[in-house]
Amino acid sequence: MADPLRLAIAGLGTVGTGVIRLLQENGAMLAERAGRPLEVVAVSARDRARDRGVDLSPFDWEDDMTAMAARADVDVVVELVGGSDGPALTLARNAIAGGKHFVTANKAMIAHHGLELAGAAEGSGSALKFEAAVAGGIPVVKGLREGAAANRIDTVYGVLNGTANYILSTMEATGADFTTTLGEAQRLGYAEADPTFDIEGIDAAHKLAILASIAFGSRLDFDAVACEGISRVRAADIRQADTLGYVVRLVASAEIDMSDGQPALLQQVRPCLVPKSHPLAHVTGATNAVVAQGNFSGRLLFQGAGAGDGPTASAVVADLIDIARGDAGAPFSVPSSGLEELPIADAGHHTGQTYLRFSVTDRPGVLAEITAAMRDADVSIESLIQQGRANNGGEVLVAMVTHDGPQSNVAQAVELLAGSDSLTAPPLVMQIIED
Amino acid sequence: MADPLRLAIAGLGTVGTGVIRLLQENGAMLAERAGRPLEVVAVSARDRARDRGVDLSPFDWEDDMTAMAARADVDVVVELVGGSDGPALTLARNAIAGGKHFVTANKAMIAHHGLELAGAAEGSGSALKFEAAVAGGIPVVKGLREGAAANRIDTVYGVLNGTANYILSTMEATGADFTTTLGEAQRLGYAEADPTFDIEGIDAAHKLAILASIAFGSRLDFDAVACEGISRVRAADIRQADTLGYVVRLVASAEIDMSDGQPALLQQVRPCLVPKSHPLAHVTGATNAVVAQGNFSGRLLFQGAGAGDGPTASAVVADLIDIARGDAGAPFSVPSSGLEELPIADAGHHTGQTYLRFSVTDRPGVLAEITAAMRDADVSIESLIQQGRANNGGEVLVAMVTHDGPQSNVAQAVELLAGSDSLTAPPLVMQIIED
């Protein structure tokens, strides 16, 4: 058998420990599949003393993880530290500059610095791989970069954040409101003490920007992702959606908009209504799923565990096997210099059905005011539900679903109502995903 | 850019024509992704005169497709002729012996001769690739061979035949019986005039044997697949299943059985009951889906179009891109000489819940006879439904679901009832897939 592929692992949290456990448990099988043994040479983490439940004694310990990039006895640096900048980025730059292959689960770093790192890796002949950065154990980076490589992809979307999906699908199952459900999720360890990245869609946006670049061959552009979280989704919205045949999901979607005659990139993360017959409607709990629409393949769906030490380790080691097998090709499917710089699309161009929910004071004329704004903005209403009076000070909810039409019209209708003292809160607008 | 990857395409039916159309439509993008142009040099088919809607004039025409294996100006032979033996196999052997890469959509040939061809390809340094042979456009061969490569996989299963799934999901939607639905499917072109391969599970068995070999690293063993078709599933079974919270699917499954202390291979294709909450329950029409359970990744699901010229062409060209990029590694994840020869597992070892449906004469004591047989075989009954008298000569259906238990006990109960003149037809036994 060929020489071992020698690894240095930076970061020994749950994922780093999971990788070591995987390499130990499945080692013989991995060597056979990879054509050579995968051998950990050195590890690094903050606290050497901590008991991680795996035997670290066979490995060199590096107090300074940056030193691993300089070791002559290392072929691949595996970064599982996290953080978009700081030590992780320094390690990545140094490892790649030193001609080492680099594998990471760090979605924030790839979303912000992926282009720079890919360019450097292409220059030094290193592999840069990040399967674990998107959707945990689901091989969707590979699925788009290689499996669907024959296709022009027009749209890629999915459920990319397990915490947000756990909260929404729990609200759906229990009828509880957002705050209660978030608190419960925090208590159970499904949501972090500071849940901002998950519930505001930033984590999903990191992953989306990476997927979009691979799917479209466009330059990675995290800053262009329009992001809206789930904290404004009420139990009542989920009930209304259910009545209308939908569920609510935090959907991350990227699509190519040709309305201006040339390609522009629309990247959005926001709660959407998903028809119950759509595969994403059945994605519950911490599960992730990605849909890609190829011009020859048709709709492809990849689904699995979006996080967790086992699934993430599975993705990290799949990258290592690829490297051991001599995997070639650019990190983002085409060389980074060839990635197209696409302008940001006008979100108003997007057409489809929309759900709007207004919180209004319970008095005559409010419904007339709302429907007049819709008419003036040329928004055609398919169905409208006005709930009976609630207990909280005369607030009433009006929910409606529009016919197909451009988002710009919906935005205009909302704009027209912006000054109205009939509204007790800004309306919640959710796009409806096509089946 | 590097030299083109030069292709010879044998077979210009819908898939072959689809591949040419894809290469023409997406050509520039493909060259960028593959790092070199994909260039068709020669084509071959039975009828040169037929109008296929694509321009074949740029390509050399070979009347004898075997001649393509000998052309010095060809790097890859693409076989889209079909048939497990005959000209397709001759072409495969010659192409590989001549050091050419070989790409095929031919599931029957790979199921029967994949080991021989893989051994030859490993010897001659050729790539042998067959993504399109399993589940059409879904990149599941790659998903298992590479994406899930870090995992020990204990079970892989799925809906692998679009025709059978179309029939079952149509029966579910319309309440019509099997014969009517098959006839309608044939009229619509969803089922062939001779539907045997599809409805008897043989096509699914071809695909399953290939997936099992990749997932487990075991020697491909098509002859060991136990196969049962869907022709005995009645509209009444689908109604009963629905009442009990299930749908009926033709499930192809492979698993490692450790009951005898060493691994044995269980491969089955047969109609099963699938809980409505399981992802496979939402796979309707001609869609295919594959589930793999990895020891680190957890449950992975791949879903998409299982057939059709576009999806199949997408898979064929993905293989070509891999080859152009310098893809390496054994066709079945480990070198064919290293694939384990696993004994066939005793299907009776498999434990789980089972659905049984008896067609019985409507007279006293029949239910007692059936339940006594269950008791004597140590099969515990969870629920039992006896339908009211039917119109067809006093035949009554008795359907039941067992508690968890070994299949051997169920088989014994059926055996005990074999001679009974209370039964008007052999019972239908369907395993229940775990959620």
Q: Is the Cβ–Cβ distance between B323 and B101 less than 8 Å? A: yes
Answer yes or no: do A202 and A59 share one domain.
no
Q: What is the mean pLDDT of residues A318-343?
A: 93
Domain end, chosen from B80, B105, B133, is at B133
For A35-76, the pLDDT digits (tens) are 999 999 999 999 999 999 999 999 999 999 999 999 999 999
Q: How confident is the model at residue A1 (pLDDT cuts 50, 70, 90)?
A: low
Rg (chain B; Cα; Å): 24
Contacts of B32 (CB under 8 A, 6+ apart): A217, A334, A338
Q: How confident is the model at residue A139 (pLDDT cuts 50, 70, 90)?
A: very high
User: What is the torsional sign of CA A344, A349, A353, A354?
Assistant: positive
Whole-number pLDDT of residue A362: 86
| Closest by CA position to A211, among listed A259, A258, A260, A160 | A160
Q: What is the mean pLDDT of residues A169-184?
A: 97
Quick one: how far is CA B105 from the chain centroid?
13
Indicate if the pLDDT at residue A392 is higher than 90. no
Residues 4 through 43 of chain A touching chain B, CB cutoff 8 Å: 18, 22, 25-26, 29-30, 32-35
Whole-number pLDDT of residue B148: 97
Q: What is the CATH number of the domain that holds A363?
A: 3.30.70.260
A151–B311: do the CB atoms touch at under 8 Å? no
Answer yes or no: do B342 and B393 share one domain.
no
- The count of C-alpha atoms lying within 13 angstroms of the C-alpha of B135, restricted to the half-sphere facing its C-beta, is 29
Answer yes or no: do B22 and B89 share one domain.
yes
Answer yes or no: do A149 and A166 share one domain.
yes
Q: What is the mean pLDDT of residues B135-139?
A: 96
The count of other CB atoms within 10 Å of the CB of residue A87 is 17
Q: What is the mean pLDDT of residues B158-171?
A: 97
| Residue B291 to chain A, least CA–CA distance (Å) | 9
Quick one: how far is CA B334 from the chain centroid?
21
| Residue B400 to chain A, least CA–CA distance (Å) | 28
Letter for the amino acid at A10? A
Residues 66 through 125 of chain A touching chain B, CB cutoff 8 Å: none
A26, A35, A139 ranked by CB distance to B147: nearest: A139
Q: Is the Cβ–Cβ distance between B5 and B326 less than 8 Å? A: no
| Residue A316 to chain B, least CA–CA distance (Å) | 9
Whole-number pLDDT of residue B362: 86
Is A151 touching B (CB cutoff 8 A)? yes
| ipTM computed for the complex | 0.96
Q: What is the mean pLDDT of residues B309-325?
A: 97
Q: How confident is the model at residue A388 (pLDDT cuts 50, 70, 90)?
A: low
CA–CA gap between residue A398 and residue B141 (Å, rounded) = 49
CA–CA gap between residue A148 and residue B293 (Å, rounded) = 22
A297–B308: do the CB atoms touch at under 8 Å? no
CA–CA gap between residue A161 and residue A169 (Å, rounded) = 12
Is B301 touching A (CB cutoff 8 A)? yes
Answer yes or no: do B106 and B156 share one domain.
no
Whole-number pLDDT of residue A393: 62
CA–CA gap between residue A369 and residue B221 (Å, rounded) = 70
CA–CA gap between residue A15 and residue A130 (Å, rounded) = 14
Is A326 touching B (CB cutoff 8 A)? yes
Answer yes or no: do A241 and A262 share one domain.
yes
- Residues of A with active-site annotation: 207
A147, A314, A334 ranked by CB distance to B294: nearest: A314
Which residue in A146, A218, A309 has the most chain B C-beta atoms within 10 A of its own C-beta, making it the best mutation to test that interface? A146
Domain end, chosen from A110, A133, A156, is at A133
Answer yes or no: do A391 and A300 share one domain.
no
Domain end, chosen from B111, B133, B155, is at B133
Q: How confident is the model at residue A391 (pLDDT cuts 50, 70, 90)?
A: low
Q: What is the CATH number of the domain that holds B252?
A: 3.30.360.10
Asked if residue B24 belongs to a domain, the reply is yes
Give the burial string for B156-182 (b: 16+ CB within 10 Å, else e): bbbbbbbbbbbbbbbbbeeebebeebb
Contacts with A134 from chain B: Cβ below 8 Å: none
Indicate if the pLDDT at residue B392 is higher than 60. no
Which residue from A minimizes the CA distance to B141?
Answer: A147
Q: What is the mean pLDDT of residues A234-253?
A: 96
Indicate if the pLDDT at residue B89 is higher than 70. yes
H-helix segments, A245-308 = none
Answer yes or no: do B381 and B398 share one domain.
yes
Average pLDDT of every residue of chain B: 95
The dihedral over CA atoms of A131, A135, A136, A141, expressed in degrees to the nearest 10, equals -20
Answer yes or no: do A156 and A255 share one domain.
yes
A139–B143: do the CB atoms touch at under 8 Å? yes
Distances (CA, A) of A381 to A373, A374, A402: 11, 8, 4
Answer yes or no: do A20 and A122 share one domain.
yes
Query: Tokens for A356?
Result: 């709007």
Asked if residue B374 belongs to a domain, the reply is yes
Asked if residue B190 belongs to a domain, the reply is yes
Answer yes or no: do A156 and A300 share one domain.
yes
B147, B151, B282 ranked by CB distance to A282: nearest: B282
Which residue in B214, B278, B297, B333 has the most chain A C-beta atoms within 10 A of its own C-beta, making it the best mutation to test that interface? B297
| Residue A164 to chain B, least CA–CA distance (Å) | 20
Whole-number pLDDT of residue B150: 97
B297, B314, B338 ranked by CB distance to A150: nearest: B314
Answer yes or no: do A342 and A354 share one domain.
no
Whole-number pLDDT of residue B387: 74
Q: Provide the number of structural domains found in chain A.
A: 3
Average pLDDT of every residue of chain A: 95
Asked if residue A258 belongs to a domain, the reply is yes
Q: How confident is the model at residue A150 (pLDDT cuts 50, 70, 90)?
A: very high
Compute φ and ψ for B288, nearest 5 degrees.
-115, 155
Range of the domain at A411: 350-431
Q: How confident is the model at residue A293 (pLDDT cuts 50, 70, 90)?
A: very high
- The count of C-alpha atoms lying within 13 angstroms of the C-alpha of A403, restricted to the half-sphere facing its C-beta, is 7
For B227-261, the pLDDT digits (tens) are 999 999 999 999 999 999 999 999 999 999 999 99
Beta bridge partners of B432: B273
Q: What is the mean pLDDT of residues B365-376?
A: 95
